[in-house]
Structure 1
Amino acid sequence: MRTPRLSRPLFLALCALPLLALLVAAVFAPLPFSIAMPGTTVNVLGEDRGKPVITVTGAETYPTTGQLRMTTISATSPDTTVRLGDVLTGWFAADEAVMPRDSVYPVGDTVQEVREHNAETMKESQDDATTAALRQLDLDPDQVKVQLRLADVGGPSAGLLFSLGIVDKLTRDDVTGGEVIAGTGTITGTGKVGAVGGVPLKTQAAERDGATVFLVPKAECAEAEAELPDGLRLVPVTTLDGALDALQALKSGGRVPSC
């Protein structure tokens, strides 16, 4: 008795079923990515929701001109399911980026956990920024008190801009020279600037909100240059002191570091 043979088209169709099942699963399966976009920017020399971002007591402050805009990214929340279609769209969109979820949310699996972590790292960043600025100006932290307010923004990446803003308010010399300066970077209490994520998206946000200069951690120069908006000048920095020197050179027409 002969075993019936399957026709070739039917045989190929049956073989393709497992592959088709895998493709369907890949399309609908959740992936460990977040989709990020340019976020808001805030002038730390101004106000946020009607209150000064920087308030200093115990020392004389001076009027400021220009702006120091800290930059952010906006990303899908940690409990949002990202699928293959979202990833493909993000890869080809000029104003989106596909980032490993762990790089956007290194701690926490829920919105509440992420908010708590971001609030904690923001507080630490503000403390370090204040320490670095007062140390730069040789001021006694027991006598000079700084309060930093910024709603709905978390994480440590505004540290450099906070320090620059504090220095600007406590010195007669105008740090910005009347220009709109944006940037990003963590900072330590000793004034060392550290790398952050999402720099290309932050440069887009800065250019959108009128900045002409962007202070970038030197380690992220190449990433920032790769997708730099027209009309935005990159200035690499490694320390608070170096950032202040670069801004002074911009005002005076001196030699300004470049990537």
Structure 2
Amino acid sequence: MSRRSWTLLTSAFLVMVFGLVGAFVPVPYVALGPGPTHDTLGSYEGREVVRIEGTETFPTGGHLNMTTVSVTDRLSVFNALGFWMSGNHALAPRELYFPPDKTEEQVERTNTRAFRSSQTAAETAALRQLDYPTKLVAGQVLSGSPADGVIAPGDELLSARGESLSDPDSLVQALSDTEPGQTVSVEFRHEDEPPQRTEFELADHPDKPERGFLGIQPTLRPDVDFDIDIRLPDVGGPSAGLMFSLAVVDKLTPGELNGGKFVAGTGEISPTGQVGRIGGIGFKMIRAHQAGARYFLTPAGNCAAAESQAPEGLRLVKVSTLGDAVEALEDIAAGETPPGC
């Protein structure tokens, strides 16, 4: 064969190899982009996203959309290049979303637990905002701790060292001046059983060795005689908490909280109503804008990044607490300008 023929044959072979590598060899990255958005006031697959039963609810209007970030895994070289060149996606190391020491099923379970915890926090924050009663319960009990095997997750915490408990800080304060080895009394209630008082010998605190450790992570739960059910399949993580809380507030109060406007947003929420920063703010704003949102509720901790990425025509509304968000929606409904980033 002539030199030219060999050159053409070699070139064709290299192109074929490159094509196979580009199409089938995976890269250690995932693609992040705008994910689905859902109206928390609406329905999904024929079922209300936020359903309240056992008490009076009121009609709502407009939209209160939660937003998500899509994570595309198992990328080839060509896939990765395509996402990178699209302008609406970014590549991130796969290990950040799928740690090598965890299976994909474990990651999915972690995300599901975070979503369920977010739902409970959203319900509690909303009911506290509306002055409904709440109770302090054991959210988690650390294995091997003094409380393990005695107090169970979900048990109501009534008092510690004779001091009444009302919120997580009250338990922290009650134990703040204790020492390892010290005996303290805790009153608690399991389900509908009578309250019981037990003496616990405190262990060493894992973070503050000089302080006594009980082994309970307290949290607030609603204490009402009606049911709130939040359900949105195939969504994980805690960042929809703020929008779920607002949907509960809207349904339990007369009038349209948002004035019938299209509002979207994001933000993790604590049972006490604090709004935490989240990831992927740019992608969430893109999807909200594409869906037709005019306002975007933005956690205060995300404002700096959001300002530089916000699509034209999407007004950012700064929120630090659920109360801030409710007041901002009331401003929008009244035709006033809410606080911006």
- TM-score band (shorter)? 0.7 to 0.9
Residue 16 of structure 1: aligned partner: none
Residue 42 of structure 1: aligned partner: 38
For residue 208 of structure 1, the aligned residue among 290, 293, 301 is 290
For residue 179 of structure 1, the aligned residue among 253, 261, 265 is 261
For residues 244 and 62 of structure 1, the distance between their equivalents in structure 2, rounded to whole angstroms, comes to 16
For residues 47 and 108 of structure 1, the distance between their equivalents in structure 2, rounded to whole angstroms, comes to 37
Give the counterpart letter for 2:105 in structure 1. Q
Rg larger in 1 or in 2? 2
The TM-score normalised by the length of structure 1 is 0.81
Question: What do the CA deviations read for 1:92-128 (whole angstroms, capped 9, x no partner)?
Answer: 4321022344544569743322221111100000000
Residue 70 of structure 1: aligned partner: 66
Identity value in percent: 43
Aligned-pair distance for 1:49?
A: 0.9
Question: What do the CA deviations read for 1:171-202 (whole angstroms, capped 9, x no partner)?
Answer: 00311110111111100000000111111001
For residue 302 of structure 2, the aligned residue among 204, 208, 220 is 220
For residue 333 of structure 2, the aligned residue among 244, 251, 259 is 251
Give the counterpart letter for 1:131 in structure 2. T
For residues 128 and 314 of structure 2, the distance between their equivalents in structure 1, rounded to whole angstroms, comes to 30
The verdict on how the C-alpha distance between 1:238 and 1:175 changes in structure 2, with shifts beyond 3 A counting, is same
Give the counterpart letter for 2:46 in structure 1. G
The verdict on how the C-alpha distance between 1:192 and 1:105 changes in structure 2, with shifts beyond 3 A counting, is farther
For residues 232 and 106 of structure 1, the distance between their equivalents in structure 2, rounded to whole angstroms, comes to 35
Give the counterpart letter for 1:157 in structure 2. S
Give the counterpart letter for 2:127 in structure 1. L
Instruction: Map 1:77-226 to 2 at 5 A.
Output: 77=73, 80-81=74-75, 89-105=82-98, 109-140=102-133, 141-226=223-308
For residues 38 and 101 of structure 2, the distance between their equivalents in structure 1, rounded to whole angstroms, comes to 26
Secondary structure, in 3 states, of the residue corresponding to 1:150?
Answer: coil
For residues 107 and 171 of structure 1, the distance between their equivalents in structure 2, rounded to whole angstroms, comes to 47
For residues 82 and 185 of structure 1, the distance between their equivalents in structure 2, rounded to whole angstroms, comes to 32
For residues 34 and 166 of structure 1, the distance between their equivalents in structure 2, rounded to whole angstroms, comes to 34
Aligned-pair distance for 1:226?
A: 2.0
Number of residue pairs matched by the alignment:
231
The TM-score normalised by the length of structure 2 is 0.63
**2:318 pairs with 1:236:** yes
Aligned-pair distance for 1:29?
A: 8.6
Residue 52 of structure 2: aligned partner: 56
For residues 71 and 219 of structure 1, the distance between their equivalents in structure 2, rounded to whole angstroms, comes to 17
For residues 98 and 319 of structure 2, the distance between their equivalents in structure 1, rounded to whole angstroms, comes to 25
For residues 327 and 321 of structure 2, the distance between their equivalents in structure 1, rounded to whole angstroms, comes to 10
Secondary structure, in 3 states, of the residue corresponding to 2:225?
Answer: coil
